[in-house]
Amino acid sequence: MVIEQIKMPQLGESVTEGTISKWLVSVGDKVNKYDPLAEVMTDKVNAEVPSSFTGTIKELVAEDGDTLAVGEIICTIEIEGANDVKTEVSEQSTEAVESAPVSEQTDQGNKARYSPAVLKISQENGIDLTQLTGTGAGGRITRKDLLKLIESGNIPVTGAKVEEPKQPAAAQETVPAVAAPKQAAPAPSIPVAAGDIEIPVTGIRKAIAANMLRSKHEAPHAWTMIEVDATNLVEYRNSLKDEFKRKEGFNLTFFAFFVKAVAQALKEFPQINSMWAGDKIIQKKDINISIAVATDDALYVPVIKQADEKTIKGIAREISELAVKVRTNKLRSEDMQGGTFTVNNTGSFGSVQSAGIINYPQAAILQVESIVKRPVVMNNNMIAVRDMVNLCMSLDHRVLDGLVCGRFLQRVKEILENTSKSTTSIY
């Protein structure tokens, strides 16, 4: 018999951890390859983790509600019918690794970088990570190091240094590293009075909070807004919507026109379609628009791939299909991946001005506000009632400057204000 490991998968770009919301199997259950093992949720998606093997569940390493970093073991499976040769090879490989000397710690940067799971445990238990030397590669502190330390009760105080005994290299964990914060902010102590309601923070809400916090801490946000006269667009869409719904079976929304205009402008201003990568900026070739879709307790950002190559009808269809997937809990991990720029329809609930948090690691997000009728001074100095909408853009100032963003928004404005029956086809 051979024991195989199932690890936490990466369920989206920039996702570094996932929360086990519910196990679908128990120890001793027989499973086939591709059978679902557990439901996992992140700030991006809810998904089932399939089995990579056929066999019997040997151990559930994590429990319901546990949050693990990508690459951490969630369970083990005993493979039926595996031959002894594989076992011998596995044992020989382990012995070779265990007998290999552990190299001296030369990369001091590893000690200042920790996995999300390590950061979470250290913050919850008040552990000063700078006082520890771990058993991971180059002295990196692993989740097991902290659990062992907490169990011993020997949590270090400032100024003390604790070194955990080195374990064989085969036992080391390999998880994505993120920079450690200088100091974790303690949870505020809020008195609870009679009649107050305490609402537990769900795993997905914690994941959303962590991703938003990372974006605000790492990306220097700047903000700009432009006003668009959408009168011609409103008249054109309203003249089509009823016939379109009867013919196509889904709604022709204003949002589809905005997404199409943004995709066209991104093609003309490719600098906006970029991401910060530390020592370089990655300008993405594909224009994949992330759209925000909300449920009662979470926010998801599915992606419209190659939006610049799609018609307004095609974009409207995808918006409808992705919204249905979110609200019926059928969104797949691949539906969330590859986004290069986010457009958020904040106007759907009446907002007229807002500053969005950038969808990390993208460089910008555009908020499409509510279309409202307002008196406007026209070019002939006459006042007319027009359908006006604000477009609000948050940008990562490491990647983008106000000049290129201003020109980008001017181009989006130009496209939208010239949308009409005579200039724009929805097919």
**Residue 387: predicted pLDDT:** 98
By CB atoms closer than 10 A (0-12, 13-18, 19+), residue 360 is buried
**Three-point CA angle 201, 202, 207, nearest 5°:** 100
**Residue 355: predicted pLDDT:** 96
**Residue 156: predicted pLDDT:** 66
**Residue 187: predicted pLDDT:** 67
Residue where a domain stops, chosen among 99, 118, 146: 99
pLDDT for 338 beyond 80: yes
Residues 6+ apart with CB under 8 A from 81: none
List the beta bridge partners of residue 386. 374
Name which of 8-12, 283-287, 324-328 the model is least confident about.
8-12
Q: How many angstroms separate the CA atoms of 8 and 113, rounded?
A: 20
93 and 228 in a single domain? The answer is no
Q: How many angstroms separate the CA atoms of 41 and 205, rounded?
A: 10
Report yes or no on 324 lying in a domain.
yes
pLDDT for 173 beyond 60: no
User: 278: which 2 tokens?
Assistant: 């530390």
**Residue 92: predicted pLDDT:** 43
For 228-245, what is the mean pLDDT?
97
Q: Are strands 364-368 and 341-344 parallel, antiparallel or unpaired?
A: parallel
- What's the CATH code of the domain at 399? 3.30.559.10
**Residue 294: predicted pLDDT:** 81
**Residue 83: predicted pLDDT:** 52
pLDDT tens digits, 74-94: 999 998 665 544 444 344 444
Residue where a domain stops, chosen among 37, 72, 99: 99
Report yes or no on 188 lying in a domain.
no
pLDDT for 331 beyond 80: yes
Range of the domain at 88: 2-99
List the beta bridge partners of residue 300. 293
pLDDT for 228 beyond 60: yes
**Residue 67: predicted pLDDT:** 84
94 and 224 in a single domain? The answer is no
Residue where a domain stops, chosen among 47, 70, 99: 99
Give me the phi and psi of 233, to 5 degrees please: -65, -45
389 and 244 in a single domain? The answer is yes
Place of tokens 């382990």: 94
Report yes or no on 132 lying in a domain.
no
**Residue 232: predicted pLDDT:** 97
Name which of 3-12, 170-179, 219-228, 338-347 the model is least confident about.
170-179
Residues 6+ apart with CB under 8 A from 361: 13, 14, 275, 276, 277
* pTM, to two decimals: 0.65
Percent of the chain past pLDDT 70, that is, above it, reads 80
Q: How many angstroms separate the CA atoms of 8 and 20, rounded?
A: 9
Q: How confident is residue 135, by pLDDT bands cut at 50, 70 and 90?
A: confident
Q: How many residues does this entry show for the chain?
A: 427
86 and 227 in a single domain? The answer is no
Report yes or no on 118 lying in a domain.
no
Report yes or no on 423 lying in a domain.
no
User: 157: which 2 tokens?
Assistant: 């105080």
pLDDT for 104 beyond 70: no
Give a three-class secondary structure readout of the chain: CEEEEEECCCCCCCCCEEEEEEECCCCCCEECCCCEEEEEECCCCEEEEECCCCEEEEEECCCCCCEEECCCEEEEEEECCCCHHHHHHHHHHHHHHHHCCCCCCCCHHHHHEECHHHHHHHHHHCCCHHHEECCCHHHCCCHHHHHHHHHHCCCCCCCCCEECCCCCHHHCCCCCCEECCCCCCCCCCCCCCCCCCCCCCCHHHHHHHHHHHHHHHHCCEEEEEEEEECHHHHHHHHHHHHHHHHHHCCCCCHHHHHHHHHHHHHHHCHHHCEEECCCCEEECCCCCEEECEECCCCEECCEECCHHHCCHHHHHHHHHHHHHHHHCCCCCHHHHCCCCEEEECHHHHCCCCCCCCCCCCECEEEEECCCEEEEEECCCCCEEEEEEEEEEEEEECCCCCHHHHHHHHHHHHHHHHCCCCCCCCCC
Report yes or no on 177 lying in a domain.
no
Q: How many angstroms separate the CA atoms of 43 and 18, rounded?
A: 8
**Top-confidence residue, 416 or 207:** 416
For 306-313, what is the mean pLDDT?
98
At position 110, the amino acid (one-letter code) is: N
For 111-137, what is the mean pLDDT?
70
95 and 225 in a single domain? The answer is no
Report yes or no on 116 lying in a domain.
no
Among the listed residues 200, 199, 144, the one whose alpha carbon sits nearest the alpha carbon of residue 171 = 144
**Residue 147: predicted pLDDT:** 75
**Residue 251: predicted pLDDT:** 96
- What's the CATH code of the domain at 10? 2.40.50.100
**Residue 376: predicted pLDDT:** 96
User: 212: which 2 tokens?
Assistant: 């938003």
Catalytic residues: 397, 401
Question: What dihedral do alpha carbons 192, 193, 199, 203 form, nearest 10°?
Answer: 0
234 and 364 in a single domain? The answer is yes
Report yes or no on 131 lying in a domain.
no
What is the number of alpha carbons within 13 Å of residue 220 lying toward its C-beta? 6
**Residue 115: predicted pLDDT:** 65
> Domain count of the chain?
2
For 309-313, what is the mean pLDDT?
98
pLDDT for 204 beyond 80: no
Percent of the chain past pLDDT 90, that is, above it, reads 52
Average pLDDT in the chain: 83
**Three-point CA angle 146, 147, 150, nearest 5°:** 85
pLDDT for 369 beyond 60: yes
Q: How many angstroms separate the CA atoms of 284 and 272, rounded?
A: 9
**Residue 25: predicted pLDDT:** 93
Place of tokens 């200088």: 182
